């Protein structure tokens, strides 16, 4: 409960149907066996029958079903309105230094903003803004921008302050970063919940559901493998990915064309490359994957490599099933695996 607002605050938000708390916590109702968004329009249950959950995943694992009225597993392509407006404000001028007083002036509680960004995006709002400023600064430096102009143009009052923030994020001084690159990340809403995507100048290197347990490990892996910092930002490959994911979830795209970058061990790469060869709407067993990767009998190793895939959906690890046809494991949750296969096989979702 420590990562969520205080219980009395959540209770007030639930009673008021406050949509600004959607995504910050979920409400599970023991008398009906369902869980909801805080803004659910349904009649409010007795407080003794409610439990507050940090994530939809937690509610699902506790045996609760998603509410059919507020659809807590569906984001409908939109974050809460106040988050959307706040992100748009940042994008108007990423160099703007937004302080707590600025948030209060917009009617937002800084603690609520911090909790929502930490929960949904894995970083505080201030860290998000700092990453946006530094990501843009790196881009200007790579294009030959003068350091003095870059520093002043991104909200820093001194060379030392900019240098300290830059080195902490990118690992190299700004004057030695002409040839540096970073991994830029953005968040994408989907019918199965929010996704975090990462891209280098070469292509997409990360796509994961934000509630996946291994997400932090995947971030550490891409930092280590690419030897680059991870910062929020925009990237042509990310924009390409958003368009293709929208088409995929609408059922009109069967093959992704956005470039992918997926370093790994030779065996991992063979497994991931075989995943890319599984046709849309079809499945393979772990035994078939091991054989295709040139290691017959290495089913467990193939399953491990499958689980280490950092680019969900695009490298379709959801298309691998057990020998008996059952779904088996999936880092994003078996319900998502079933929904993805159902989408590809033309099975309507319930």
The two three-digit tokens of residue 339, written as one number: 């929904």
**What ranges do the domains of the chain cover?**
7-66, 81-176, 266-344
Residue indicated by tokens 């001084």: 173
Whole-angstrom Cα distance, residue 56 to residue 260?
Answer: 29
- Please determine whether the domains at 7-66 and 266-344 fall in the same fold group of CATH: no
CATH number of 266-344: 1.10.10.10
> pLDDT (tens digit, 0 to 9) for every residue of the chain, 350 residues total?
346 788 888 999 999 998 878 878 899 887 887 889 999 999 999 888 888 888 776 676 555 677 888 878 665 545 678 887 888 888 788 777 888 999 999 999 999 898 887 776 667 888 778 777 776 666 666 566 666 666 666 666 666 766 676 666 655 566 655 555 778 888 788 888 878 899 998 999 999 987 776 676 787 788 888 888 777 777 899 999 999 999 999 999 999 999 999 998 999 999 999 999 999 999 999 899 989 888 887 888 888 888 889 999 999 999 999 888 787 778 778 888 999 999 999 876 54
> What is the predicted pLDDT for the residue at 62?
57
Q: Quick check: helix, strand or coil at residue 264?
A: coil
> What is the predicted pLDDT for the residue at 40?
92
Q: Quick check: helix, strand or coil at residue 87?
A: helix
Catalytic residue (choose from 40, 67, 205, 317): 317
The CATH fold of domain 7-66: DNA Methylphosphotriester Repair Domain (3.40.10)
Indicate if 67 belongs to the active site.
Answer: no
The two three-digit tokens of residue 301, written as one number: 């190793």
Q: Which CATH architecture has domain 81-176?
A: Orthogonal Bundle (1.10)
DSSP 38-68: TT--SPPPPGGGEEEES-HHHHHHTTPEEPT
> What is the predicted pLDDT for the residue at 1?
37
The pTM (predicted TM-score) of the whole model is 0.60
> What is the predicted pLDDT for the residue at 57?
66
Indicate if 317 belongs to the active site.
Answer: yes
DSSP 129-166: HHHHHHHHHHHHHHTT--HHHHHHHTT-SSHHHHHHHH
CA pseudo-torsion sign 99, 100, 104, 107: positive
């Amino acid at each position: 409960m420590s990562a969520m607002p205080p219980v009395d605050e959540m209770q007030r938000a639930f009673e008021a149907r406050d949509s600004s708390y959607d995504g910050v916590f979920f409400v599970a109702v023991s008398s009906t066996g369902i869980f909801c968004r805080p803004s659910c329009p349904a009649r409010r249950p007795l407080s003794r029958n409610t439990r507050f959950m940090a994530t939809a995943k937690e509610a699902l694992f506790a045996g609760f079903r998603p509410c059919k009225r507020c659809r807590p597993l569906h984001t409908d392509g939109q974050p809460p309105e106040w988050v959307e407006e706040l992100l748009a404000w940042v994008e108007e001028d990423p160099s703007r230094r937004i302080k707590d007083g600025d948030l209060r002036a917009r009617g937002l509680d800084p603690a609520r903003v911090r909790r929502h960004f930490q929960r949904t995006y894995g970083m505080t709002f201030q860290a998000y803004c700092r990453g946006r400023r530094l990501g843009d600064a790196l881009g200007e430096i790579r294009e030959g921008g003068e350091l003095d102009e870059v520093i002043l143009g991104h909200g820093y009052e001194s060379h030392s302050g900019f240098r300290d923030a830059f080195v902490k994020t990118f690992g190299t001084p700004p004057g030695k970063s002409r040839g540096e690159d970073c991994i830029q990340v953005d968040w994408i809403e989907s019918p199965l919940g929010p996704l975090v995507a990462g891209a280098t100048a070469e292509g997409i290197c990360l796509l994961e559901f934000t509630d996946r347990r291994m997400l932090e490990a995947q971030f550490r892996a891409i930092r280590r493998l690419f030897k680059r910092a991870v910062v929020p930002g925009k990237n042509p490959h990310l924009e390409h990915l958003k368009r293709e994911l929208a088409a995929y979830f609408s059922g009109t795209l069967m093959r992704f064309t956005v470039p992918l970058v997926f370093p790994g061990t030779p065996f991992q790469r063979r497994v991931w490359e075989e995943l890319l060869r599984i046709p849309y709407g079809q499945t393979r067993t772990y035994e078939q994957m091991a054989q295709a990767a040139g290691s017959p009998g290495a089913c467990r190793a193939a399953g491990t490599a499958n689980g280490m895939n950092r680019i969900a959906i695009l490298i379709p690890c959801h298309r691998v099933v057990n020998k008996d046809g059952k779904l088996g494991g999936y880092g994003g949750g078996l319900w998502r695996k079933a929904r993805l296969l159902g989408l590809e096989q033309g099975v309507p979702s319930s």
